[in-house]
C-alpha cells in the first residue's frame, strides 16, 4: 500500500461500541483539533450533526469527522446499535489534500455507504479493536497495519463504489438509485444519470422504479428535496435562497414556485407555522 499514502496515518485509538434497545449513545457537540475519526455502523441507526448539517447513518455506513469540525452524535433508541471507531492523524493520500479519502471531484459527504465493502470493513474493524485490546506496545502492535487497510477500504468504497459489486440485479439497482436520491438529493440528478448508474435504459428504469415504489423517480426526488427543505425551514434560520441551494435548486424562484404548488403555502408561511425553537428541539432530544 506504499503507493496509496503520501503520508502514512498515525494511529490514535480504536474502540467498538454497543447499546441495547432503549439505550442511547450521545456524544455532545465537540471537535478534535488534530485527529480525524472514521466510524463504521454495523447495526442500528444514529443521527449526526456535522458542521451544522444533519445526517442519518445506518447499517453499512461510514462516517467521517475531519479535524477541527464540530460534530454531535446521538444513536436511535428503538434498536440495538453497534459501531466501530478509529482515530488517526497525519493522513495524506497521493494526489489528495490532507485528510481526504477521495478526490475533490467526488462530492464531499461525511456519511456514505460502504456498499459491497461493508462486510470487509466490519471484519477489519473487529481485527483492529482486538489488536488494541491485546495491549501490545507500539513497536509490536499491528494497529497501524489494520488502520491502513480500513482507510484503503473506505477509499475504495467512496471512490470506486461498484468496483467489487459487478452487475447487480435490476431490482437491487433501482433500490440503490432510491438511496442515492435520499442521500444526494442536493446534486443535479437526472433520469439519465440514475438510469446509467443502474445500467438500465431510462424508460426501463422509470418503469421499474414506479412499479417497485408506486411513485415516479422524479416525484420521489422532489419529495426528498421538499422534505429536507421543510426540515431546514422548521429548525434553522437559514435564508430561503440558501435552503433552495442546499436541497438542489439553483433558482430560488423555481424552488419557491414548486414549494407553493406542492405544499399549498409559501416557504415563509411554512416556517412561521412549523418553526421549532431551540428549546423545543432540546426537549425533543431529551424525550
What is the full per-residue pLDDT of the chain (287 aa) written as tens digits? 557 889 999 999 999 999 999 999 999 999 998 999 999 999 999 999 999 999 999 999 999 999 999 999 999 998 899 999 999 999 998 888 888 887 666 556 899 988 888 889 999 999 999 999 988 887 778 999 999 999 999 988 887 765 554 556 778 888 889 999 998 999 999 998 898 888 788 888 999 999 999 999 999 999 999 999 999 999 999 999 999 999 999 999 999 999 999 999 999 999 999 986 544 544 544 54
Residue 106's pLDDT is what? 56
Query: What is the spatial distance between Cα 28 and Cα 74, in angstroms, rounded to a whole number?
Result: 8
Q: What pLDDT does 167 receive?
A: 54
Sign of the alpha-carbon dihedral angle for 117, 120, 123, 125: negative
Q: Which domains does the chain have, with CATH numbers?
A: 5-159 (2.60.120.280), 170-217 (1.10.10), 226-286 (1.10.10.60)
Measured at the CA of 17, the angle between CA 21 and CA 122, to 5 degrees, comes to 105
* pTM given for the model: 0.57
Amino acid at each position: 500500500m506504499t503507493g496509496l499514502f503520501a503520508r502514512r496515518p498515525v494511529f490514535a485509538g480504536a474502540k467498538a461500541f454497543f447499546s441495547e434497545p432503549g439505550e442511547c449513545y450521545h456524544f455532545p457537540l465537540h471537535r478534535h483539533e488534530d485527529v480525524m475519526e472514521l466510524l463504521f455502523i454495523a447495526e442500528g441507526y444514529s443521527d449526526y450533526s456535522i458542521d451544522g448539517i444533519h445526517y442519518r447513518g445506518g447499517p453499512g455506513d461510514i462516517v467521517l469527522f475531519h479535524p477541527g469540525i464540530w460534530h454531535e452524535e446521538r444513536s436511535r433508541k428503538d434498536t440495538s446499535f453497534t459501531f466501530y471507531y478509529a482515530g488517526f492523524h497525519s493522513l495524506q493520500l497521493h494526489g489528495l489534500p490532507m485528510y481526504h479519502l477521495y478526490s475533490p471531484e467526488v462530492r464531499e459527504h461525511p456519511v456514505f455507504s460502504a456498499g459491497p465493502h461493508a462486510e470487509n470493513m466490519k471484519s477489519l474493524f473487529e481485527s483492529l479493536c482486538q489488536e488494541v485490546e491485546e495491549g501490545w506496545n507500539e513497536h509490536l502492535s499491528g494497529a497501524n497495519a489494520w488502520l491502513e487497510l480500513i482507510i484503503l477500504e473506505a477509499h475504495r468504497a467512496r471512490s470506486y463504489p461498484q468496483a467489487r459489486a459487478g452487475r447487480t440485479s435490476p431490482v437491487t439497482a433501482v433500490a440503490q438509485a432510491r438511496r442515492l436520491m435520499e442521500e444526494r438529493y442536493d446534486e443535479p440528478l437526472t433520469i439519465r444519470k440514475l438510469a446509467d448508474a443502474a445500467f438500465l435504459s431510462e424508460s426501463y428504469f422509470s418503469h421499474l422504479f414506479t412499479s417497485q415504489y408506486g411513485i415516479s423517480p422524479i416525484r420521489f426526488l422532489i419529495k426528498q428535496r421538499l422534505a429536507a427543505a421543510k426540515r431546514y425551514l422548521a429548525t434553522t434560520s437559514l435564508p430561503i435562497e440558501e435552503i433552495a441551494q442546499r436541497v438542489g435548486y439553483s433558482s430560488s424562484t423555481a424552488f419557491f414556485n414548486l414549494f407553493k404548488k406542492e405544499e399549498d403555502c409559501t416557504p415563509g408561511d411554512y416556517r412561521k407555522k412549523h418553526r421549532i425553537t431551540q428549546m423545543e428541539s432540546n426537549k425533543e432530544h431529551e424525550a
